[in-house]
Every structure is written in structure tokens, then in C-alpha cells.
Amino acid sequence: MQVIQSRRELQALADGERAQGLRIALVPTMGALHRGHLSLVAEARKRADRVWVSIFVNPTQFNEKSDYEGYPRDLDDDLEQCREAGVDLVFAPTPDQLYPEHAQTWVEVTELAEPLCGATRPGHFRGVTTVVSKLLMCAKPHVAVFGEKDFQQLAVIRKMAADLCMDVEIVGGAIVREDDGLALSSRNVHLGPQARREAASLSRALDAAQHAVAGGERDTDALLGAVRREIEAQPLAEVDYAELRDPETLAASPSRLIGPAVLALAVFFSPDPDASGARVRLIDNRVLPVGRRNR
């Protein structure tokens, strides 16, 4: 497995692989790898001859410096996991490789980036789309794989790639969960024992909404009320948002659902009692398969 830091070295290698007719898949990550990331590697392997993983904690997508500095990092462990997963190459650039001194250029998607995480984390998606565009230009992949847990991020990246006529296929990989339903996330390691138990309420809330819809419930307020009650029953939990949105446009769902809707959640968990540390923000989602009315 190759490990490359230089963007120019990576671009030259990509040119060589493409000249040989080889198909490249890229899995962009911020490291702290877990089974969810490795499932994206497996998906990439199905679609390409070469599987490349990027590991870069992107400073421009963090709203708070402390969150950036506290993001989990263990490059040696990440590299070992990549080797075991059969990754062909890891791109682990230093910040100056992607953000040259006095860089002034940004890539930004507008409407799709405004609600949900965009509303509570201003500038976040500008940082995401800027760094992803840079990674795509460095690796020149035929396909790039992103996790569906970050539902809005996936939608924003797809829109960016389409709007900028990028010659890359954007693929979503299914959410991987723990036995109690908690979606795998690099941030889970910061949860204390009590917060970790309470965090399973996100998947329970999604399950409850799905079961309600299956039973005929279509009232948006009723569905969101049930979701909030499940989560807010947890002493350490604080809902950032719980919203129903159109899966494609991310427009707010009507007061009564008439078609599929994505139920998107973001929840803060405070440190366990008598423990220090910062709050941990977790996200999750579920597309509720509401049938559209006949016209």
C-alpha cells in the first residue's frame, strides 16, 4: 500500500493509472476510521480497479477551533486498517498541500447547504465542498464514495459534481450501525458511558417514526413530536434539529406527508455527570418510504 502526501505526486500517479485504462475509486475520510469507513472501501472495491483513501482533517469545515483540535486522530491505526482492507493507496496530505498560502478560492453550493446542518453550522458546507473538490482534482477518480449517514453532505456533493460538470460518479454507502442501532461515527469515542447508552435513542426515534408511517401516520407534527419525546427523555440529550425534508431537494415537508421524506436528526450529548469534556454532536437519518398519491 502506498502512502502519499504530495498532491502533485498523486496527480501524476492518477494520470498513469488512467493511461493504463484502470478505474480509480476514492473514499474521502477525515481518519479515525471504523467499520463504517471500511464498508465504503468495500463498496469502492466493487466499482474500481484501484481503491484510494484520503485521510485529512479539514480545518475549513469546523465552526469551532476546539472541535477541530479535538477531532480524533490516529494515522498509524488508520493506515493499518487500510492495509487490512486491501486499500491500494492512502493520500494523507498536510494542510499546505490542499490550502496553499494565501489561498482565496472557495467552492460553494447554495440552497441545498442552507437547511439542517447548514443552518446551525454556517460555512460548514463551503469547507466541505471546497476540500472535496480539491481531493477530486488531486486523485482524479472515476468514482468517489461517501457515507449516507451524512445525508445532506452527500446531496450537496452530488449537486456540486453535477453543477461543475465533474467527470466523477458520486456513490452513497449505507449506514453501518452498532448492535443497539447507534450509527457508527468517529465522534462516538468521545461519548461517556451514560451518553453512549442514551445515544441509541436516535435510532429508536427513527424506528418509531418509520413504524408510525407504516401504520398510516402522515402528520408531520405528530411524527416529529414522537421523535423529540424519545430523544428528549434522555437527560444528557439536547436536540439541535429534527426535521422532515424532501430527499432530493431538502425542502421542508408539507404538514401531511404525500411522498418519501428524509427524517434528519442532529443531537448534542453533554458529558456524563461528574465528567469533563465537550458536548458531542451526533447526526442520523432515515428515508421514510411514504407512497405518493395517485394523480
Task: Note the pLDDT of residue 32.
Answer: 96
Task: Note the pLDDT of residue 169.
Answer: 98
Residues 38-79 pLDDT 10s? 999 999 999 999 999 999 999 999 998 889 999 999 999 999
Within a domain: 293: no
Mean pLDDT of 99-103: 95
Nearest to 86 by CA among 51, 36, 39, 55: 51
Residue 293 has pLDDT above 70, yes or no: no
Within a domain: 276: yes
In terms of residue numbers, what domain contains 267?
186-286
Within a domain: 227: yes
Residue 179 has pLDDT above 70, yes or no: yes
Within a domain: 53: yes
Question: Which amino acid type is present at position 26?
Answer: L
Same domain, 12 and 60: yes
Same domain, 165 and 193: no
The CATH code of the domain that includes 248 is 3.30.1300.10
Same domain, 40 and 115: yes
Q: State what percent of residues in the chain have pLDDT above 70.
A: 99
At 85 the three-state DSSP class reads coil
Mean pLDDT of 236-252: 98
Total domains in the chain come to 2
- pLDDT grade for 292, boundaries at 50, 70 and 90: low
Nearest to 78 by CA among 176, 1, 136, 24: 1
Same domain, 26 and 153: yes
Task: Note the pLDDT of residue 274.
Answer: 87
Same domain, 145 and 238: no
Same domain, 201 and 164: no
Same domain, 6 and 107: yes
Within a domain: 277: yes
Strands (E), the chain: 2-4, 24-29, 50-55, 89-91, 143-147, 169-173, 237-245, 261-269, 280-288
Residue 87 has pLDDT above 60, yes or no: yes
The CATH code of the domain that includes 68 is 3.40.50.620
Rounded to whole angstroms, the Cα distance separating 89 from 135 reads 14
Of the candidates 173, 204, 223, which is a domain's last residue? 173
Surface-to-core class of residue 67, CB atoms within 10 Å of its CB (0-12 exposed, 13-18 middle, 19+ buried): middle
Within a domain: 291: no
Residue 294 has pLDDT above 50, yes or no: no
pTM for the full model?
Answer: 0.95
Transcribe 200-245 into DSSP letters.
THHHHHHHHHHHHHHTT--BHHHHHHHHHHHHHTSTTEEEEEEEEE
Of the candidates 123, 148, 173, which is a domain's last residue? 173
Mean pLDDT of 104-114: 97
Rounded to whole angstroms, the Cα distance separating 252 from 269 reads 26
Same domain, 193 and 161: no
Same domain, 166 and 261: no
- Residue 102 bears catalytic tag: no
Within a domain: 250: yes
Within a domain: 179: no
Of the candidates 173, 207, 230, which is a domain's last residue? 173
Q: Of the listed 37, 124, 142, 190, which one is catalytic?
A: 37
Same domain, 40 and 138: yes
Place of cell 437547511: 115
Phi and psi of 265, rounded to 5°?
-125, 145
Same domain, 165 and 196: no
Q: Residues 167, 133: contact at Cβ < 8 Å?
A: no
Task: Note the pLDDT of residue 224.
Answer: 98
Same domain, 48 and 163: yes
Residues 152-165 pLDDT 10s? 999 999 999 999 99
